[in-house]
């Protein structure tokens, strides 16, 4: 663990250097705040407007979390169905890939037209960006079940159900988690986009308010908040993975 921390110092130094140069350049060149605020201004603004900002933040967290949970549930179910019923996989999987080329920013306004400004269209947007990485990863995981293990299980008399629950599902866990990590970061982005296109609160709304008031510093506060949330979600998934997929980390020692 301390090794991990030690390893982290380099990027941290680069990051601090980056902010330092940014600060200096903004100050020396006298760049106006509406064009590019200095990091110090952004931090100040973040602290100063925390009261009004936090409501938006929590709203996004709530939306992102629920969308994420629904999205990954659908993603996992889809993967299981596609894997277990080959006919469905062959006829539907290519279309799922196609569905990922539907531009969300174009679709989102249509969703609002169809489903209004409530939770439904937002959840659909987040689900749409969330479910696919999980489906692909889980399907990959299922498919890549070591053939020798599968052969052993079948020779040992495992039923189809036993094969799935005792072998294929646990075997796919690491792969599923790498899908979940991607989905987790996407869910925040999805939440912001869906809020941006119509909502009462959330980082997306905060950003709109900020940019129409020419408060570039607040736009940056929102950008950093989004990055932080993405990292947070990512971290939480890694934590859960550590707890659930323990046999691997032991092996890696």
Partner 1 sequence: MAVLTIEDVSKKFAETEIIKHLNLQVNEGEFVSILGPSGSGKSTLFSLIGGILTPDSGAIMLQGEKINSKTGSISYMPQSPSLLPWRTVLQNVLLSQELRGPKDEKKAEEMIEKAGLGAYIHAYPDELSGGMKQRVSFIRALLSPQPLILLDEPFSALDELTRLDMQKWLLSIWEENRRTVLFITHNLEEALFLSDRIIILSSKPAEVVADYKIPFKRPRAEELFLENEFLEWKREIYHKIKEVME
Partner 2 sequence: QESAENGKDKQTESKNEKVTVVLDWTPNTNHTGLYVAEEKGYFKEEGLDVEIILPGEAGAEQLVASGKADFGVSHQETVTEARVQGLPVVSIAAIIQHNTSGFASPVEKNIKSPKDFVGKTYGGWGGPAEKPVISTLMNAEKTNVDDVSFVNMGETDFFTAVKRDIDFAWIFYAWTGIEAELRGEKLNMIYLTDYSKNLDYYTPILVANEGKIKDNADQVKKFMNAVSKGYNFAIENPAEAADILIKENPDLDAELVKKSQEWLSPRYKDDASRWGEQKQEVWENYTKWMFENKVLEKELDAKSAFTNEFLPK
Which residues, numbered 30-59, are part of the site for partner 2 (CB under 8 A)?
32-35, 52
**Kindly report the CA angle at 171 between 167 and 175, in degrees rounded to 5?**
155
Among 167, 184, 189, 199, binds partner 1 (CB under 8 A): 167
For partner 2, give the closer residue by CB, 59 or 187.
59
Cα 222 from Cα 192, distance rounded (Å): 10
Place of tokens 């692909």: 136
Which residues, numbered 193-232, are part of the site for partner 2 (CB under 8 A)?
195-200, 204-205, 208-215, 218
For partner 1, give the closer residue by CB, 25 or 146.
146
- Indicate whether 165 belongs to the interface with partner 1 (CB under 8 A): no
**CA 78 to chain CA centroid, nearest Å:** 18
Contact 136, 179 (CB under 8 A): yes
Least Å distance, CB 156 to partner 1, is 5
Least Å distance, CB 230 to partner 2, is 21
For a second copy, give the closer residue by CB, 77 or 193.
193
Largest CA distance in the chain: 75
Name, in order, each residue with C-beta under 8 angstroms of 137's C-beta and a sequence gap of 6 or more: 172, 175, 176, 177, 178, 179, 180, 182
SS3 at position 31: coil
Encoding tokens for residue 65?
């979390």
Which residues, numbered 212-251, are part of the site for a second copy (CB under 8 A)?
216, 219, 222-223, 226-227, 230-231
- C-alpha dihedral, 171 to 73 to 97 to 193, nearest 10°: -130
Pick one of a second copy, partner 2, partner 1, none as the site partner of residue 235 (Cβ within 5 to 8 A by kind). Answer: none
Least Å distance, CB 162 to a second copy, is 29
- Indicate whether 126 belongs to the interface with partner 2 (CB under 8 A): no
Encoding tokens for residue 112?
């609002």
- Indicate whether 200 belongs to the interface with a second copy (CB under 8 A): no
Query: Given the rule CB under 8 A, which residues bind partner 1?
Result: 146, 148-149, 151-159, 162, 166-167, 170-171, 173, 245, 247-248, 250-253
């Amino acid at each position: 663990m301390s090794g991990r921390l030690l390893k982290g110092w380099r990027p941290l130094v680069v990051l601090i250097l980056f902010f330092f140069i940014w600060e200096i350049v903004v100050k020396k060149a006298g760049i106006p705040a509406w064009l590019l605020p200095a990091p110090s201004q952004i931090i100040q603004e973040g602290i100063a407007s925390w009261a009004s900002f936090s409501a938006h933040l929590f709203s996004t967290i709530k939306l992102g979390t629920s969308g994420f949970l629904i999205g990954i549930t659908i993603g996992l179910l889809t993967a299981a169905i596609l894997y277990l019923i080959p006919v469905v996989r062959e006829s539907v999987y290519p279309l799922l890939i196609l569905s990922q080329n539907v531009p969300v920013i174009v679709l989102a306004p249509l969703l609002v037209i169809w489903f209004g400004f409530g939770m439904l269209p937002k959840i659909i947007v987040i689900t749409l960006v969330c479910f696919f990485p999980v489906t692909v990863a889980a399907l990959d995981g299922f498919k890549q079940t070591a053939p020798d293990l599968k052969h052993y299980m079948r020779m040992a008399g495992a039923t189809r159900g036993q094969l799935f629950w005792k072998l294929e599902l646990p075997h796919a866990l690491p792969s599923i988690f790498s899908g979940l990590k991607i989905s987790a970061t996407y869910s925040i982005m999805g939440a912001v986009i869906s809020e941006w296109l119509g909502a009462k609160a959330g980082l997306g709304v905060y950003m709109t308010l900020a940019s129409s008031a020419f408060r570039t510093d607040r736009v940056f506060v929102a950008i950093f908040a989004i990055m932080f949330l993405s990292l947070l979600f990512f971290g939480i998934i890694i934590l859960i993975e550590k707890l659930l997929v323990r046999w691997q980390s032991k092996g890696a020692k």
